[in-house]
Amino acid sequence: MMQWLYKLGSPRHFYEMTTGFIPWLAGVSVLLLIIGLVWGLGFAPPDYQMGDNFRIIYIHVPIATGGIGAYVMMALMAAMYMVWNIKMADIVAKVCAPVGAAYCMAGLITGAFWGKPTWGTYWMWDAKLTSYLILFFLFVGVMALRAAFDSENASSKAASVLAIVGVVNVPIIYYSVEWWNTLHQGASKLSLRDGAANPPEIWVPAFFTGFAVIGLYFLAVIMRSRNEILYRERRAQWVQDLLKTELANV
Amino acid sequence: MSGGMSRTAIGLGGALGATLRRELQLAFSSPGRIVNPLMFFVIAASLFPLSGRFEPALLGTIAPGVIWVTALLAVMLSMESLFRGDYDDGSLEQLLLAPQPLYFHLQMKVLAHWLVTGLPLVVISPLLALLLHLPADGYAPLLIGLLLGTPTLNLIAAIGTALTVGLARSGLLLAVLILPLSIPVLVFGAGLVDTALNGLPMGGLVAVLAALLVMAGTLAPLAIGAALRISVQ
Amino acid sequence: MFKFQFNSVADFFAMGIYGFYVWVAYGAFFAVILWNWWQPRMERRRIVRLLRARGERQQEQQGGNATSATQQQSAQQ
């Protein structure tokens, strides 16, 4: 296991080990997505309060949670890069940002269109929504900082520092906005209702879409990481060899 | 230049005192550094009443937010001068190599910066409160909040400034990096005034703002130091 | 448990009264999922072409006898 992890830390091994893995990951994720969505959209009984609008939950919850997970993963990878100088960790941290930002945006949009019929408005300055919007801003900041440097080393390290500072701030932001919310609107929590209260017909499809969205997240991260590896290792002999064999027809 | 020729001979306290004195001297030799953020603060805050037809009462309710947001922007715009001069003349490199711990030096630098740019904002804020019809009960919490909040904002903004000091045009980038991180201070700072105006006790919020200041004061210098080492390469 | 909840295809697309919201949300979801899949593929093609062009340029220079050392260096960078 340790050996395996150690090997993943080397860009070349990461590239070679993920080559055969991608079609499987893609296939399983898409299969799970199709099962989850057909079940969720067509076969799950409508919610007794929200009607068919609740079907947005099957995509909203996984992708919104994925956005948070992406930020945490980015910060962890950034910390690994800063502490142990593992290049692969920086590559993953770099590619987590655009994927996570896209997930964040999807979370915000699906949430808005779920919210309009449910609360009567697309947007509320609720603690959850507001801190989620700020999370999106944090992603944008990390990406903007990374893009601003010419030197790869400096841009990696600067983005890592900002990602770590950001992750320290996320809980503070959440609690500040939550406090602010109770001050101005009373303690009205706009949370989804307790999942346990729902019958399994309703929540089981969410498992399928949940794992599908996680799988698709890792798929995107792996694909982007491989691109980044190819570019960063462009002078290495193994990349030159790949260009003549595996990548000859790309 | 850096004025640190005899730093090795004197102790940490002396060196920190020297840093503080040097920073203050530098600031007072270029008055724009002190005056410009202040003028921005006053001008930007007076744009709000002109941007619509506000009854005095309505103006009074948005006053804490307006003052806090403009103070935040003024702090951010003032940050350019924190490391720029030192970076250009190479004394930042010397600071990173100095025998005294960088951590305390950075605290001193930010403290000096706050004394010349942040403190004047706090001092002039009652004037803006007057112009914006802030009710009388709001003055004390506004001052207390800004007193505790502006140094925190300076510390947070210093991280972004240190990250971008090596870049040619960093103004907008700095805003994108710093503004999201500053939101908690803004929320609690403006919220403190609101709380007081609603007749609620403000002790808890003052404690929260103080805690944020202590936390930023202890953690931010680490991040600023790491960021400077990245920028000076 | 596995009973189709809608009486007709039109009924399915209407989603009760929530069709607009449901399908816009799903549209945004699929846009992001597809973008996350499509972008790396395009990027991969771009990088491979870039690297191949770089390799060919290098080979030409190595083949030609008039190549100076500085040119080769700049091509490698």
Give contacts of A 174-213 with C, CB under 8 A.
Answer: 201
Backbone angles phi, psi at A47, to 5 degrees: -70, 140
| CB nearest to A243's CB, from C5, C25, C55 | C55
Q: Which residues of B touch A154 (CB under 8 A)?
A: 166, 230-231, 233
Q: Which residues of A touch B173 (CB under 8 A)?
A: 144-145, 148
First to last CA, chain C: 62
B223 and A161: CB-CB below 8 Å?
yes
The pLDDT, as a whole number, for residue A198 is: 65
Query: Do B77 and B33 meet the contact criterion of CB atoms below 8 Å apart?
Result: no
Q: Which amino acid is at A96?
A: C
Do A179 and B231 lie within an 8 Å CB cutoff? no
For A168: left if phi > 0, alpha if psi spans -120 to 50, otherwise beta; the answer is: alpha
Looking at residue B69, its pLDDT comes to 96
Q: Which chains touch B (3 or more CB pairs under 8 A)?
A: A
How many whole angstroms separate alpha carbon B227 and alpha carbon A120?
45
DSSP state of A55: G
**Best residue of A140, A164, A165 to probe chain B, by most B CBs closer than 10 Å:** A165
Q: Which residues contact residue B96 at a Cβ distance below 8 angstroms, ignoring those fewer than 6 apart? A: B102, B228, B229, B232
B163, B167, B184 ranked by CB distance to A161: nearest: B163
Contacts of C33 in chain A (CB under 8 A): 33, 216
Instruction: Write out pLDDT tens, residues A63-116.
Output: 999 999 999 999 999 999 999 999 999 999 999 999 999 999 999 999 999 888
Most B CBs within 10 A among A145, A156, A160, hence the mutation to make, goes to A145
Confidence of residue A184 (pLDDT cuts 50, 70, 90): low
Closest to A24 in 3D by CA, of A208, A219, A206: A219
Q: Compute how many other C-beta atoms are within 10 angstroms of the C-beta atom of residue A214.
A: 17
As a whole number of angstroms, the longest Cα–Cα distance in chain A is 65
The sign of the dihedral angle between the CA atoms of A176, A181, A186, A191 is: negative
Residue B54 CB-density burial (10 A; 0-12 exposed, 13-18 middle, 19+ buried): middle
Main-chain dihedrals φ then ψ at residue A51, nearest 5 degrees: 65, -145
- Per-position DSSP letters for B131-180, written without gaps between them: HTT--GGGHHHHHHHHHHHHHHHHHHHHHHHHHHTTSSS-HHHHHHHHHH
Contact A141 B177 (CB under 8 A): yes
Chain A / chain C CB contacts < 8 angstroms: 112
Asked if A40 and C4 count as a contact pair (C-beta separation under 8 A), the reply is no
Cβ distance B198 to B216 under 8 Å?
Answer: no
Cα–Cα separations (whole angstroms), residue A180 to A167, B72, B110, B140, B199: 20, 18, 28, 20, 16
CB-based contact A161 B194, cutoff 8 Å: no
| Token pair for A67 | 């956005």
Distance CA B17, CA B111 (A): 11
Interchain proximity B176–A172, CB inside 8 Å: no
Query: Could you tell me the end-to-end alpha-carbon distance of chain A, in angstroms, rounded to an integer?
Result: 33
Predicted confidence band of residue A119 (pLDDT cuts 50, 70, 90)? confident
User: Which one has a higher pLDDT value, A243 or C1?
Assistant: A243
pLDDT in tens, A193-222: 444 456 777 778 889 999 999 999 999 999
Local structure of residue B193 (DSSP, 8 states): H
Q: Rounded CA gap, A105 and C31, in Å? A: 11
B62 to A37, A173, B52: CA distances (angstroms): 46, 22, 13
A60 touches chain C (CB under 8 A): yes
Contact A223 C16 (CB under 8 A): no
Among the partner-chain residues B163, B184, B231, the one whose CB lies closest to the CB of A172 is: B184
If you search the block for the tokens 């030609």, which residue do you land on? C64
CB atoms inside a 10 Å sphere around CB B29: 8
Per-residue pLDDT of chain B (233 residues), as tens digits, is 444 444 445 677 777 788 788 888 888 888 888 899 999 999 999 999 888 888 888 898 899 999 999 999 999 999 988 888 888 888 888 888 877 788 988 998 999 999 999 999 999 999 999 999 999 999 999 999 999 999 999 999 999 999 999 888 778 899 999 999 999 999 999 999 998 998 888 888 999 999 999 999 999 999 999 999 998 87
Q: How far, in Å, CA of C26 to CA of A135, rounded?
A: 22
Q: What is the DSSP letter of A47?
A: B
Element (H, E) at A95: helix A87-119
Q: List the structure tokens of B23.
A: 């920073």
Burial class (CB in 10 A: 0-12, 13-18, 19+), B223: buried
From chain A, pick out residues whose CB is under 8 angstroms from the CB of B183.
134, 173, 176-177
- Cβ–Cβ of A179/B187 closer than 8 Å? yes
Task: Provide the pLDDT confidence category of residue C39 given band limits of 50, 70 and 90.
Answer: very high
Whether residues B212 and A82 touch (CB distance < 8 A) is answered with no
For residue B90, the model assigns a pLDDT of 86
Sign of the CA dihedral running A50, A54, A55, A56: positive
Question: Which burial class, exposed, middle or buried, applies to B106 when counting CB atoms under 10 A from its CB (0-12, 13-18, 19+)?
Answer: buried
The single-letter DSSP state of residue A48 is T
Averaged pLDDT, A13-41: 92
Q: Which chain C residue is nearest to residue A53, measuring alpha carbons?
A: C18
CA A17, chain centre distance (Å): 22
Which residues 23-82 on chain A approach chain B with CB closer than 8 angstroms? Answer: 82
| pLDDT for C63 | 65
Disruptive mutation site among A92, A110, A219 for chain C (greatest number of C CBs within 10 Å): A110
Strand, coil or helix: A51: strand
Would you say the C-alpha torsion B106, B107, B113, B118 has a positive or negative sign?
A: positive
Token duo for residue C34? 């597809």
Q: Whole-angstrom Cα distance, residue A249 to residue A247? A: 6
pTM of the model: 0.87
Residue B178's closest chain A neighbor by CA? A141
Non-local (6+) Cβ contacts of A52 within 8 A are A46, C15, C16, C18, C22
Q: Does position A1 have pLDDT exceeding 90, yes or no?
A: no
Do A97 and A155 contact (CB within 8 A), yes or no?
Answer: no
* Tens of pLDDT, residues B45-98: 999 988 888 888 889 889 999 999 999 999 999 998 888 888 888 888 888 887
Angle of CA points B25, B29, B32, to nearest 5° = 120
Q: What is the pLDDT of residues A122-173, one digit of tens each?
A: 888 888 888 899 999 999 999 999 999 988 899 999 999 999 999 998 889 8
What pLDDT digit, counting tens, does each position of C6-30 carry? 878 787 877 777 888 889 999 999 9
